[in-house]
Structure 1
Amino acid sequence: MNPTSLLQGRRVLITGGARGLGHAFAEAAARAGARVVIADILVERVQQSAAELAAQGLDVSGLPLDLADPVSIERCVATAVERLGGLDGLVNNASITNSGGKSCEELEIEMFDRVLQVNVRGTWLMTRACLPALRQSGRGAVVNLASDTPLWGAPNLLAYTASKGAVIAMTRSLARELGSDGITVNAIAPGLVEVEATQYVPAARHQLYREQRALQRGQVADDVSGAVLFALSDLSRFITGQTLPVNGGFVMP
């Protein structure tokens, strides 16, 4: 199958599309033939991101989204479905970390709750809001961005690691529930990707990751895009409930 037609005619909503992984996923999906809406709480950045891709002749537009606000989620999904004329794929990419570097004793209760509210509840509510359109599609695919942190137990990252472990568990549960509707639900678990959102991670930690991977180099956003395209496409139509680590061999579960 020609990669440029892998998602031909598909209608895809990607959260967290203002920068980093979400921007890379949007570009890859659009180049594979999809019509894409990206959504983010960074309203100006998401519009700029969409405009940059549209200027390259790609069918990408942007919408505001606050995953902590159920009303914002419903409004975003309704607008995206109307704009695209339906929905074939959802990529739950948006998440927050915010607790990096703090031990379990130092981590504030409010921050723990905030991370789970966005990363776990937000993923559930986005998926729920998209279900009517995904069912109508007849070939719906949900791709949840997890992380390899719950696969090895990242220290001083308790809230984020717990939230991504929950995303992996939800992926399996949703796959069981939605299989009868012909909807696949899979998770992608990247390692430490070198993007703007991980600039807070000390350089020594980035170097440690590079050295301990089987593929000893830094991981960039485009390293993850192929797995997302695969999970959205017909190539994975009989794969569901799975978590695919994409980390250069740092963790091999």
Structure 2
Amino acid sequence: MTTLLQGKNVVITGAARGLGYDFACAALKAGASILMVDILADLLQEKAEKLQGEGFPVTYITADLSTQTSIDNVTTWVSLNWQKVDGLINCAALATGVGGVDMMDYDPELWDRVMTVNVKGTWLMTQAMVPFLKKSGYGKVVNIASDTALWGAPKLMAYVASKGAILSMTRSMARELGEFNISVNSLSPGLTLVEATEYVPKERHNLYITGRAIQREQLPDDVSGTALYLLSDLASFVTGQNIPVNGGFVFN
């Protein structure tokens, strides 16, 4: 337990499982109040109620970030309950089931779905939260990218392209929002042991382990500390940057 985010209001998308849930747990332990957002309604409720039962200040909203209606629902809740937002982690992304396909065989409809959720959803959620980030006078946005966009992972074209877009969009957002004291950075995890990567072949996991400077599997807790840093006062003059967190598989 720390006080790194004491008194801060933080919105986290994709928070029902994987890295998003780990980010929520870490931020709560650092003193923040959390709004968990995810499309997985039952799992989201289960995880949020578990944290509530442990005494943490957390609530939740089910949302499909590809729809404006869902974005509006999140905006309405924030307006009625918080009025200001200090931090936003855009972690929601379509990953499971999008890999293992050669670029020549990729389904255009799946491509569009990945781009809508991963890229458009990140933009729309950030756009919706900007007025509340401005009110805080503090705003921190952390966009979750991926080191696949840094080394060009094969047979994962739509996902890699979407995460490359996150990297570029982060820089543009940082330029536009800096005048409001809102910082925008991206975090690029390597292959992490979470539910969304259970489908990844063992060979790809081994490729990561042997290719890392620190040769072991990557766990969610390996990533959450960097997210907390980017949300905190410690990173008050850091913006437009991408931080790979992958044990040295890719150097920035």
- In which range does the TM-score fall when normalised by the shorter chain? over 0.9
The 3-state SS of whatever aligns with 1:105 is: helix
Alignment partners' CA distance in 2, 1:78 and 1:196: 30
The 3-state SS of whatever aligns with 1:21 is: helix
The 3-state SS of whatever aligns with 1:51 is: helix
How high is the TM-score relative to the length of structure 1? 0.97
Alignment partners' CA distance in 2, 1:16 and 1:205: 24
Alignment partners' CA distance in 1, 2:209 and 2:69: 41
User: Is 203-212 or 87-96 further displaced after alignment?
Assistant: 203-212
Q: 1:35–1:84: 8 Å Cα contact kept in structure 2?
A: no
Q: Structure 2: any 5+ residue segments left out of the alignment?
A: none
Structure 2 counterparts to residues 1-253 of structure 1, below 5 A:
4-97=2-95, 98-253=97-252
Could you list the structure 1 runs, at least 4 aligned residues long, displaced by more than 3 angstroms after superposition. Answer: none
Alignment partners' CA distance in 2, 1:109 and 1:229: 36
Residues 142-191 of structure 1 show CA distances to partners (whole Å, capped at 9, x for unaligned) of 00000001110000000000000000000000000000000000000000
The 3-state SS of whatever aligns with 2:48 is: helix
Residues 57-97 of structure 1 show CA distances to partners (whole Å, capped at 9, x for unaligned) of 21111111101101111211321343334211110000002
The 3-state SS of whatever aligns with 1:248 is: coil
Alignment partners' CA distance in 1, 2:80 and 2:26: 22
How high is the TM-score relative to the length of structure 2? 0.97
Q: 2:83–2:132: 8 Å Cα contact kept in structure 1?
A: no
Q: 1:99–1:107: 8 Å Cα contact kept in structure 2?
A: no
Alignment partners' CA distance in 1, 2:115 and 2:12: 19
Question: Which letter does structure 2 place at the counterpart of 1:198?
Answer: T
Aligned-residue RMSD, C-alpha: 1.0
Alignment partners' CA distance in 2, 1:112 and 1:135: 34
Instruction: Work out the number of aligned pairs and report it.
Output: 251
The 3-state SS of whatever aligns with 2:6 is: coil
Q: 1:209–1:250: 8 Å Cα contact kept in structure 2?
A: yes
The 3-state SS of whatever aligns with 1:90 is: strand
